[in-house]
Amino acid sequence: MVRCLRVVFVLLVASIVSSQSYAEDAAKLNVLFIAVDDLNNSLGTYGHKLVKSPNIDRLARKGVRFDRAYCQFPLCNPSRASFLTGRRPDTMGVLENSTHFRKALPDVATLPQVFSNNGYFAARVGKLFHYGVPNQIGTPGFDDPPSWQLALFPRGAERDEVQRVVNYSGGTNIGGALTWYQSDAPDEQQTDGRVATEAIRLLEERKDKPFFLAVGFYQPHVPCVTNQKWLDLYPMNKIDLPREPQNVRDGVPSAAFTVNPPNYGASEQDLKTFTRAYYASISYMDSQVGRLLDALDRLGLAKNTIVVLFGDHGWSLGEHGQWQKMSLFEESARVPMVIYAPGAKGNGRSCGRTAQLLDLYPTLADLCGMPQSGAEGNSLKPLLENPRAKWIHAAYTQVSRGPMMGRSVRTERYRYTEWDEGRKGVELYDHDKDPKERRNLGEDPAHTHTVAKLRRLLRRQ
């Protein structure tokens, strides 16, 4: 009898412990972390009149859309290393695409590591840490193995079709030029389609335990790859290019420009054709985002899964005659960013406060009750509860020109930029009056006080 009672007691304790463990797992919020390569704010939810992005738009209606969000460095490796470690590019010494962040920070705990160390399954599908597109698609690239318990690198049809690429800007680096082509492969055979398929499989397999699933989509990174059905959304007669004043470069430091001559000297027809492909590849990528969101709903995960979606940096489409990234103008520094946190009071609203990709690390750690030691950003949790809450934080972006550095600070009203600490010129733009940054007020005597104030702010980052 005593022996039976002991057995019953042991089974009862085990059941209680198991129930407690299950309850603790159930109480944990999952994270679906979606990074999109070279995605600017050309999205319906940000007011673009032509681009169709219904799935990102519906996520924005559900969560909080950040209207003034900025990257730390408009280049893949520095930006991605920054938001995945929570450290600034200067802290890591990562200012180009060839330095791994662990060279300077060998023991840093990345964002997925923090989750893994706290009982989560941490996995990566697609491009999270940097690697070259398109040539390194399907390889680990510049991965960080300690960050993941599982890393998958799908390879789609476009990796084997690079010989079909059309290049409007010249050069041999097709991953850094105005390149695109129309593929005959169906959506699910492209890399982003395979990324979504693998991510959905992991959601199905891991739905009963807490997870941090990072999903990296490749489009619209060049070469923009799309098929006819997405191109059909954008008739050529609907494609417009920025109409810049002839004097738009007057009074602007030469370091601000990377594309010389403006627009690469390409024809208007070629520029419109490329822009059409960029828009079409956004719509294709958006459809794959939709598959992920549908899977969350189907699996009953939407109610307890934080969803974050953002672009790793901006991308210029002819503004100031500039294309691609690596500038400190608004189009290159600004990023789309949407955060849905279950139960957050700010859900369904937009936020006009300045935010940074650097803030993602402390925000997710804060939402999930995890340590964030050393993170240099700020938790956005107060803004997820009240998008109009008092907020004193500016956003900082930097970019290199060889050994020289350009640094920019963005407040809700102004952008202030210094090249080589001001020795190679300064820029000041009043976004209340000049949202396209067409009039540099940096040397205007009437704005001396504003320049001095923002210079001090820039040095406080």
| Residues sharing a CB contact under 8 Å with residue 195, sequence separation 6 or more, in sequence order | 125, 126, 154, 215, 216, 217, 218, 288
* Residues recognised as catalytic: 76, 130
Q: Helix, strand, coil shares of the chain as percentages rounded to 5?
A: 40, 20, 40
Omega cis (within 30) before 220: yes
Going by C-alpha positions, the residue among 344, 285, 359 that lies closest to residue 62 is: 344
The 3 state secondary structure assigned to 97-145 is: CCCCHHHCCCCCCCHHHHHHHCCCEEEEEECCCCCCCCCCCCCCCCCCH
Residues in contact with 122: Cβ distance below 8 Å, sequence separation at least 6, in sequence order = 112, 113, 115, 116, 147, 148, 149, 150, 211, 212, 214
For residue 410, the one-letter residue type is R
Biggest CA-to-CA distance, the chain: 96
Report which secondary-structure segment, H or E, holds 294: helix 268-298
CA distance 360 to 377: 8
Question: CB of 123 within 8 A of CB of 152?
Answer: yes
Is the CB of residue 398 less than 8 Å from the CB of residue 459?
A: no
What's the rounded Cα separation, in Å, for the pair 364 and 360? 6
* 245 upstream amide cis, omega within 30 of 0: no
- On whether the CB atoms of residues 395 and 355 are closer than 8 A, the answer is yes
DSSP helix/strand/coil, 296: helix
Residue 95, CA atoms < 13 Å, CB-side half-sphere: 13
- Residues facing 65 on adjacent strands: 338, 350
Task: Evaluate whether 358 touches 86 at the Cβ level (below 8 Å).
Answer: yes
Asked if 150 and 124 touch (Cβ cutoff 8 Å), the reply is yes
Spatial distance between the Cα atoms of 22 and 380, rounded to a whole number of angstroms: 29
Burial class of 258 by CB neighbour count within 10 A (0 to 12, 13 to 18, 19+):
middle
* CA 309/CA 442 separation, integer angstroms: 34
